[in-house]
Structure 1
């Protein structure tokens, strides 16, 4: 298995799509179209890897990708089953010489790559999931070794800013697929989600937000009620947007580009530590409480703390949650209730449209003090956070209608649940970060 490969003409190549569901700035697709007479774009729906609430969004992304490929003379071939097995079955059927794919960082993606390495076909990996490929930036001052990476964000951010980026690539003008190839049926999405999936919707949203929202991002990103964030994270998660293109187009806002760098940072940590969703990245295991009632109350948005319940209900209703609310509800679960961060990360991963192993697990470990935070014992007071970032209580009223009639001075006070679970409410006093 080689990265990117050398220039050589071939008759047929497969482009295996995973988390790169776009045609703009797609290095693997562009290289395959340059190097092969016939290109077979492929996506394998693997029932062993359920997407949870993301399934409908994923199907919309695939339908949009198929339309974009058809507009260029190609199509999206859809198969169901094990990704490696179905890819190799199609490669044998077509006599394909190589499989082109975007490199990824999760343990699942790495196991797939290792399996392809054992097959009798050339497997070529390309960048595209992140702005900077995870293994391209290594700490200076020491010889590189296996698993080496940046463990602290700020030095990574400085190196990331200086790094010379690859050129952006236009979409291919034409994609030629073999004649008579059965492309397969794409299942219909089950209903319409809160956000439309696909590259077309992603590019439209990005263009609108870059015009209207980017310049206000630094001042408004923590305004819970104002909702002045881009909401582009689901499209980045499925690769409907090139993170490199977005970083370049948004470069006038250092604060927003810094968030894209955080995404890259978590990916390079996961590349070096693929068990990030299962094991503490650093520090020994602490004694976590296991309280199913408290966990279920948190999941349902019925904790009795308005700001936490608002965030959790937004997640249930939209498959998305404001980033400041994510910090608040996560800190409440692990620091106030003392529950295992993995329980929270699992719930987020199942429901979030942008649920991603690297970002989700990295952020949860940061909050829990087991990850890359250089201050693992920092305090985080949910009441002070609520009063600072939702001072009038509009975010709470929007998502907790039971409290809609309360005035601002009382909106964040713990509220009386119909049937409060044991141990509620927990202590909420203490300092803030």
Structure 2
């Protein structure tokens, strides 16, 4: 009786999963395997929020497999070594895996392929699991990847999107040892954010159905409305592969209209960042386009930014939302990242690490390369643009509702005045447990532009 291993990584679903369907079709029995890799934890990538969400995803996946006559097999250790053990125990002749783009994933795939070659087993890598259009499928004539989104998106939009695959009816699993399903506490030390969403394919599909049944049609007009909270919030489910980006594109396209088009464009950004990282894995920690920055080191300023105590209410509201929910509105991500990298002139890697520590959808490709885009070291066509939080507040939180929700110290201030608490009468300011601005916006902007122009010595650039 033939056996294949279906190795789950960032594709924790049974619907539209080419890895699952290929493994089921290739053998009489399948080992649906997930390996808890302590190396990932030791590298600091498994943090409480993502650990709790991952535990939900694994429990949900196990339930979906059991409903099809199977179960999830869990092992712990080095992925390649554990796959080798399971293959030996079950006599598996093939291992099916979804391709990923990080340097870690590329090394893992290479090691796994080498190990299987030595034991005369076959590694089957599937491109169309975590992408709509895989990296390398679209390339300009002069280089290995597109460095600007708009021409990439034009080509991306022309690619036919495959039909989504249904979930298999049955997944017969051979007798093989499994560890128990982990809890979030088993995977990472520390408490998750209080308002963390529940993980898993079932929850992701429920949210996707609700999103596509109306709200997506208003996305183009409302996606930047901070208080309106009118985005899909599907990014954690995409990050863990609980949802298929292909299926979302197909279903949104069927809805049609400007809102659905704008939503699909955001899904294209995910593929854009992945094709950048696939071709340049070092950009997870190195500048994609170096600007000769001499970043400032100031732990007090960074601490104020992390805690949501910069004195700029919109920045602080977004940072506090992330701490509470493990998620931040996309407009908030742009504003907080610009404030750190351009107003405070702090290295984008500092901010990217903090986001990875908290975001449930913390993703190497999207997180690191979006941070670089804002910092001006990435694929942005306007690398020196600075987002003024007061202008952003007027445009996207004009009545101050978003700030009042997340910065309760300012809840009693009416209207747009909540964005400028330093202009309130002294007797009112004394009653607020809220700091003065850590820096003047004009001062920060001027210093940033002078630094990018190379006109200021590094040790005198930020004497505040």
TM-superposed CA distance for 1:420, in Å, is: 5.4
Q: Which of the numbers 198, 201, 222 marks the counterpart of 2:200? A: 198
* 1:15 alignment partner, SS class: strand
Contact 1:414 1:425 in 2 (8 A): no
Q: Determine if the alignment matches structure 1 residue 35 to structure 2 residue 36.
A: no
1:424 — aligned with what?
Answer: 438
Q: How does 1:18-417 map to 2 (within 5 A)?
A: 18-50=9-41, 51-52=46-47, 53-119=49-115, 120=118, 121-126=121-126, 127-139=128-140, 141-142=141-142, 148-179=144-175, 181-190=176-185, 194-251=196-253, 252=256, 253-415=260-422
Greater shift, 189-198 or 76-85, is seen at: 189-198
User: CA offset at residue 414 of structure 1?
Assistant: 4.8
Q: TM-score, structure 2 length as denominator?
A: 0.86
Is the 8 Å Cα contact of residues 153 and 265 (structure 1) preserved in structure 2?
yes
Distance 1:398 1:274 in 2: 39
Shift of 1:78: 0.4
Across the two proteins, how many residue pairs are aligned to each other?
415
Cα separation, partners in 2 of 1:193 and 1:69, compared to 1, 3 Å: farther
Report the Cα offset of residue 409 of structure 1.
Answer: 3.2
Secondary structure in 2 matching 1:123: strand
What TM-score, normalized to structure 1? 0.92
Residue 428 of structure 1: CA displacement?
Answer: 4.6
Q: CA deviation at 1:164?
A: 2.1
Give, in whole Å, the separation in 2 of the partners of 1:101 and 1:383.
47
Residue 39 of structure 1 contacts residue 175 of structure 1 at CA under 8 Å; is this kept in 2? yes
Kept after mapping to 1: 8 A contact 2:19/2:98: yes
Over 6 Å off, 4+ runs: none
- Deviations along 1:258-317, one digit per CA (max 9) or x if unpaired, are 000011100110100111221000134310001111111111111111000000000000
Assess if the C-alpha contact under 8 Å between 1:44 and 1:86 holds in 2.
yes
Counterpart CA distance in 2 for 1:406 and 1:168 is 50
Task: Give yes or no for contact 1:14–1:99 (8 Å, CA) kept in 2.
Answer: yes
Return the offset for 1:418: 5.4
SS in 1 for 2:403: helix
- The Cα offsets for residues 123-153 of structure 1, whole Å up to 9 and x where unpaired, read as 11102111111111111x45xx6xx011111
**Aligned position for 2:451:** none
State the SS of the aligned residue for 1:410. Answer: helix
SS in 2 for 1:78: strand
CA RMSD of aligned residues (A): 1.8
Tell me how far 1:379 sits from its aligned partner: 2.7
8 Å Cα contact 1:130/1:243 also seen in 2: yes
CA contact (8 A) 1:381 1:428 kept: no
Which is further off, 314-323 or 87-96? Answer: 87-96
Report which of the two has the higher share of helix: 2
Structure 2 vs 1, CA of residues 390 and 214 (structure 1 numbering), >3 Å: closer, same or farther? Answer: same
Matches within 5 A, 1:2-13: 11-13=2-4
Following superposition, the deviation at residue 116 of structure 1 comes to 1.0
Q: How many Å separate the matches in 2 of 1:409 and 1:201?
A: 36
1:322-341 per-residue CA deviation (whole Å, 9 max, x = no partner) reads 00010000000000000000
State the alpha-carbon separation in 2 of the partners of residues 212 and 242 from structure 1: 19
Work out the CA distance in 2 between the residues paired with 1:283 and 1:188.
41
Counterpart-to-counterpart distance in 2, 1:284 and 1:224 = 31
